[in-house]
A and B are shown apart, each in its own frame.
Chain A
Amino acid sequence: MGARDLSILSLVSLAVFLVPVFLINRRLGLGINRTMITSVVRMCVQLSFVGLYLEFLFRFNSPVLNTVYLLIMISIACQSIVRSSRLRVKKIFIPVFLSLAIPFVVILFFFNAVVVRIDNLFEAKYLIPIGGMLLGNCLRSIIVGLNGFYSGIRKDEKVYLYSLSLLGSRIQALMPYFRENFLAAVTPTLASMATIGLVSLPGMMTGQILGGSIPMVAIKYQIAIMFSIFYTEYFSTILSVLFSLKVGFNSLDVLNRDIFTSKT
């Protein structure tokens, strides 16, 4: 048993509420109508394509195809992280890619092999949606951690250099900037773990219940996924800072300003 299918017409019917929103936006002079329409259209187009890909991937269920798809997902996530962090793609893409890919692959396969115990580790039905959830969450935490780290040092460069001269070690001089931004990156997940279920039911659980799972099964999956999200975020954020140090600083530990896209 599964959720009832939705007809195209019934989806279109949801757009009806855009009319009053559109009018109110205009009345209040919010100036977001263009953005709103673009976002809605993008959402529909992107998700439709994903639907088509997924149908295709699920039908073939080929390990090679699934892996390629995962690599593409990681690359897109990476691109988006580097852009949002206002760092140069050319310089920082590879360190970010590795820091995302390593924990992601380890946790994802652990999830499939040890937690769910599926026979085919590359089973598209598990690999791709779970992978997507992990990546989506890491995206935010790496952006916060990495961007905060580099922009913090950039803003505070004199203080950083001065601690370098006093403490002598780069790691020690960098530690306060790392600590501050790492906490900002992982705290939201810890906070959401602490309130989950009290306020909102997570999307994955809702989906599973609609899809026919009994609530207890859905909850077990939710717990497993929360653990996995936290671990992936935690390690990929640490690694993103660690792996980027080589391009972020010169051989004498001074910040390389050419890793930033903007001058200020």
Chain B
Amino acid sequence: MDSHDRDHPLLAAFLAGDLDPVQARQWDEHLLACERCWQAVREDREGRQAAQLLRQPVPPGLGDRVAFAVEVAAAGRGLVQPDHRRGIGFGRPGRHRRRASWRLAVAGMLAATAAVALAVTFLPSGHQAPSLPAAVAAVARYAQAISGPAVPRRPGPEAPPVEVGHPVAVTAGGQRIVLRTWRLGGTEAVVAVSGRPFPMPAHARGVSGRGMAWSARLGSLGLYCLNGRTSELVAAPVPAAELAALAARLPLY
């Protein structure tokens, strides 16, 4: 093989193992004599090994987050509206929105079906949730997807809540909900706000003194709801006794 000013055209094929045995043997011999090509081979290997350093494991919870986003999109074909003003990527592209009423009706049926699936998926094994409202199930599923277990660390009395990520707007069971995530001490809590009341699950209990308030327990997740002119639903992995106090410290908007 003659000397060459640039990479030999067969070098990439040699490195990829594409050459037949005869050509490969010729290349092996060539590399012994050609410093330029040998340097190219060495740099190729070094560059490949360096790039492999950049592999990183998938963050915990990303799979759940993706699955949830897809499930919400599936449930809301035509109902889930992406909120681009907030930079939210939920929902399908605008050109795919279905506007015909009959399609909305079909989508509503899908939403109801998916909401049940969400609720069943969300609940730990052994729990049954035949009557979990779609809106509540969606909030709970989202909280489960984005939050890890509470860190056993109590915030100081002055520690303010810090918002995590971007607000997310979804529609579940025909109810539009804006979800925000707050970190307060070692706990991540989801605050869901809607213009319509969050239906009270069958197994929830009313909160004394607050006629429109209810709380419920879903596995390790606590739910605390205040229904009023706007309705707020707080979901966090904390004991039920701490939920009201936690909600009082969160911005409910």
The judgment on whether A and B are partners is no
Which residues of chain A have a CB within 8 Å of any CB of chain B? Answer: none
- Interface residues of B, Cβ cutoff 8 Å to A: none
